[in-house]
Amino acid sequence: MVDQKVIAIDGPSGSGKSTIAKSLAKKLNLLYADTGAMYRALALVAHNRGLDLTNLEQMKDFISGVKLIYGANKDSLVSIDGENLTQKIREHHVSKLASQISKHPPVRNYLLEIQRKLAKDRVIVMEGRDIGTVVFPHAFCKIFLTASSKVRAKRRFDELRGGGEQDISMQQILADVIERDH
């Protein structure tokens, strides 16, 4: 059974998923969904509440009590419990937090449900890890992007520098990219 409503763009960190997905969604006038933003938002809020992101029980309790809203309007990509987190989730340290929280099956299942609901009544361009294999294995269009670790680190480094983060080195980013791959 082919899912006629999903264009799935998958690949490792920094491979260009967001760039391609945003461009494609704009060109086709479709909704764009960044699943990584969902993980980053959950991770940031859990961290800010002082929770241990590696503790499965704490994460279960956390997700049972939060409300994540995705794409409410163009200025609020992702919010949790009414707080717009769109800008805050782009800070470098949040990516590491998201990697920790994404290891928990209950967190993945919570977001899986949200991601599938987004595509229920409309055609959507959705990007993120496992989109074409786990979230929408029967997507009518699946794209997998890849690039070397160095190229991906350079893309991320340039993005962070462009966003004002100056206290980060290319070597740090490369190490983070390699770590996130595993």
Dihedral pair phi/psi, residue 147, rounded to 5°: -165, 160
CB-CB contact of 52 with 44 (8 Å):
no
- pLDDT 10s digit of each residue in the chain, 182 long? 666 789 999 988 888 898 999 999 999 999 999 999 999 999 999 999 999 999 999 999 999 999 999 985 666 789 999 899 988 998 878 988 998 999 999 999 999 999 999 998 889 999 998 899 999 999 999 999 998 889 988 888 888 788 777 888 889 888 888 877 76
Rounded to whole angstroms, the Cα distance separating 100 from 107 reads 11
CB-CB contact of 70 with 78 (8 Å):
yes
User: How many angstroms from the chain centroid is the CA of residue 143?
Assistant: 16
Q: Give SS3 for 153.
A: helix
Query: By C-alpha distance, which of 147, 109, 136 is closest to 8?
Result: 136
Dihedral pair phi/psi, residue 3, rounded to 5°: -85, 105
Dihedral pair phi/psi, residue 175, rounded to 5°: -60, -40
Query: By C-alpha distance, which of 177, 179, 182 is closest to 148?
Result: 177
Query: What's the token pair of residue 92?
Result: 């470098």
Q: Give SS3 for 68.
A: strand
Q: Give SS3 for 34.
A: strand
Domain ranges of the chain: 3-146
The CATH code of the domain at 3-146 is 3.40.50.300
Find residue 8's DSSP bridge partners: 126, 142
Instruction: Give the number of other Cβ atoms within 10 Å of residue 29's Cβ.
Output: 7
pTM: 0.85
